[in-house]
Amino acid sequence: MALAAFASDVPVPAAAPACAHCGAAVPAGGGRFCCTGCEAARAVIDGLGLDQFYRRRTLDARARPLTPDRERPDLAPHVRTLGDGTSTLELFVDGLTCPACMWLIESVLALVPDVTQARINLGARRLRLAWRGPAERAPEIAEHVLRLGFRLVPFDPATIATAASAEESELLKALAIAGFAAGNVMLLSVSIWSGHAVGMGGATRDLLHWVSALIALPAIAYAGLPFFRSALAALAAGRTNMDVPISIGVTLAAGMSLFETFRSGPHAYFDSAITLLFFLLIGRYLDRRARGRAREAAQQLVMLAARMVTVVAADGSTALRAAGSVPVGATVLVAAGERIGVDGEVVAGRSDLDRSLVSGESVPVPVAPGALVHAGTMNLTAPVTLRVTAAGEGTLLAEIVRLVDAAECGRGRFMVLADRVARLYAPVVHLAALGTFLGWVLFSAMAWQDALMIAVAVLIITCPCALGLAVPVVQVVATGRLLRRGVLVKSATALERLAAVDMVVFDKTGTLTSGAPSLRDAAAHPPELLARAAGLARASRHPLARALAAAAPQAPLAEGTIEHPGQGLSLATPAGEIRLGSRAFCGIAADDGDGALEMWFRGADGAAARFVFTDALRDDAAEVVAALKRNGFDVALLSGDRASAVASAAEAAGIAQHAAGVTPAEKVRRLEELRAAGRRVLMVGDGLNDAPALAAAHVSMSPASAVDIAQSAADVVFQGTRLAAVADTLLTARRADRLVRENLVLAIGYNVLAVPLAMAGFVTPLVAAAAMSSSSLIVIANALRLGTRGPAR
């Protein structure tokens, strides 16, 4: 049996290095992997390592080149080379149908020298490759997959969407033909059953059997093509997949029926064969549609980026170019109603942008010259001209896709468990069916034909699809839901760790608060005074000056204003000099004061006015903290800010536990103390000083406004100005964890109940087909419940 080593056991010593595939202990001499399931190199077949077996059966090009040159895609132009010399490539894998196929490809590629990453997204059927070396090695590496019987093409979302639509159309046609044939053959079978009760003659019965064969056999030959092609490709490459036992079951039922018809036997099973195929096609079609619904939202974003943009030349002429080929510094014109294809800075024009697909914010955002815009956003109201700052793989949109794809392709502990069980499928199901057939034939008086039908039922009903889908479909739905709400899950295990959180610790500045100061009690200042001060403030980019200018948006810029770095602004007027800035700069006597953020204005007559600023809480901070408490989370605030500011923010947000003046090292120490006490802490922070705490926490989140190092350390990044993403992410993770456990119970329970019933002869092939298809659909439908709920509260 091909790849029978999937079922072999490898003893694992207690003290051993971690497996590169699943993290379990590696057996002595096992190299990088723990068992034959995790390392395609060491599956034991007749005493050979799988690397030797695989090379002998599929990889030795001198023995049998499986892929003609004319069918090999030209991959080198699609390779992206990174700054460190690593080459990356994304490929669409045609013929990928089950988790066992995914495991086999990843395991074989792990053997290839210099390959540093080989990860498959089963929902999108995308293979992401990375290797150390030049782009010219792409065909050589791809050949390892081609020789397994799969077809590879460069990953292009638009082309692949068309191919997926064509595949669904083919399944629908096959389903229609199988349904038509099954209905007619069933009518003939009813006639045979009725005639048997009233003494129908053998000649009439044989005629009806032959008519059934003439209808059923051509229909089986056509409608079974999706299964037969996949099974033959797998067998030709020396492996098996889930379509092999399905094809065997359908072929055995049809072949035995034809044999019985030739010998004028009393029983034929054409109705069972074609109806079995009909049920299987229903399941396959619905499964494909359901997987399409669950497919990651990131793939939709990729399609947004795959577009043309209008480039403006130096002479004013325009030309359409692919977004990925536009150089940094080029000028791009974006018309109203057009989606932006590059990252850039607005240099001319004012408009409103719909950023919902990138940030999750539903309210359009106004932009003016100087504003930064990102690929994937929609220009709503007027044309704007951009100077390109990033294009193609360098855009924020591309980074979002990479982050989400990494999370979806990752392997958490539940996915590792499901993969280990699913990979045993091929040898176990064939042995179970063979054992069932021999048991009924050798130890009972049952006719071999009936025993064969029981074995067919066992072949059909024992399918690992439900188990293989139990975890990844929930992961895809959860990450897609969060992405639509502006939350990027970067780590493969973040959702599992978020589900275990029982305490949330916030940083203050820029996290619990907006991070942008605002003028307190602007209405308390005389309008003329506020306007004069704001006119000076417009000449500076200091955060306090910008906050003051924002408080009087109609105040014009005071021409001739001079900025004194680190001190303030001054303006010479006929009446004398006026100043805006620090207490000392404005000649105000030193005072301990209340420690608030302040700017002083001194008029030409020497009169002084104080402007006090606050870093206001995010609009929904108090609401989110209350929601977290209602759902059983403890909430704390750790900040390096002044005690008065921290206490004020904590009181406004409703947080009882808070500490001020906390250094980065002290934050880490406090998190370690909480961990030692058994707490699972989510740390939410945005500053450079938060990066160590984010890395030390059980799991971490950062707003998109965070500094780069904080975003790099965080497991999750959320867009927008609201904290609701924190509560929504935590509750989504809890629901996802619950759904994963439910799916595992459903999938394992199905096999525990269904397989013994089938082996005992209580399940017909028709019921087996319906049960097998239903198990996968139930698991997918259960996961999709997560995507239909509103925001978590």
Which stretches of 2-133 are DSSP H helices?
50-54, 99-109
**Which run of H or E residues covers position 734?**
helix 724-759
Q: Is 507 a catalytic residue?
A: yes
Q: Closest by alpha carbon to 686, among 652, 730, 623, 640? A: 640
655 to 393, 503, 646: CA distances (angstroms): 42, 12, 10
Asked if residue 214 lies in contact with residue 268, where contact means CB atoms within 8 angstroms, the answer is no
In angstroms, the CA 332 to CA 345 distance is: 10
In angstroms, the CA 1 to CA 50 distance is: 14
DSSP 25: B
Rg (CA), the chain: 33
Per DSSP, which regions of 205-274 are E strands?
none
| Count of Cβ atoms closer than 10 Å to residue 573 Cβ | 12
Which tokens go with 596? 């608030």
Active-site option among 507, 641, 715, 728? 507
Residue found by looking up tokens 């974006």 in the block: 334
Residue 154, judged by CB atoms within 10 A of its CB (0-12, 13-18, 19+), counts as middle
* Distant-in-sequence, close-in-space partners of 621: CB < 8 Å, separation ≥ 6: 512, 513, 652, 653, 723
DSSP 510: I
- Measure the CA dihedral 61/63/67/72, to 10°: 20
Which tokens go with 412? 């958490």
In angstroms, the CA 230 to CA 232 distance is: 6
Per DSSP, which regions of 666-765 are E strands?
681-684, 699-703, 716-718
Pairing outcome for strands 562-564 and 568-573? antiparallel
Residue 513: beta bridge partners? Answer: 617
Residue length of the chain: 793
Task: Return contacts of 751-760, CB within 8 angstroms, 24+ apart.
Answer: 751/462, 751/466, 751/467, 754/461, 754/462, 755/432, 755/458, 755/461, 755/462, 758/436, 758/454, 758/457, 758/458, 758/461, 758/462, 759/432, 759/436, 759/439, 759/454, 759/458
CA-based end-to-end distance of the chain: 53
Which tokens go with 286? 């619905």
In angstroms, the CA 422 to CA 522 distance is: 65
In angstroms, the CA 90 to CA 86 distance is: 14
Which tokens go with 152? 């590879």
Residue found by looking up tokens 């922070």 in the block: 685
How many angstroms from the chain centroid is the CA of residue 274?
A: 37
In angstroms, the CA 357 to CA 378 distance is: 9
Measured CA angle at 695 (ends 694, 697), to 5 deg: 65
Which tokens go with 452? 């064969």
Count helices and strands in the chain by DSSP H and E runs: 26, 27
Which tokens go with 473? 């479909």
Q: Closest by alpha carbon to 732, among 786, 781, 779? A: 786
Asked if residue 638 lies in contact with residue 670, where contact means CB atoms within 8 angstroms, the answer is yes
Per DSSP, which regions of 582-736 are E strands?
597-602, 608-614, 634-638, 657-659, 681-684, 699-703, 716-718
Catalytic residues: 507
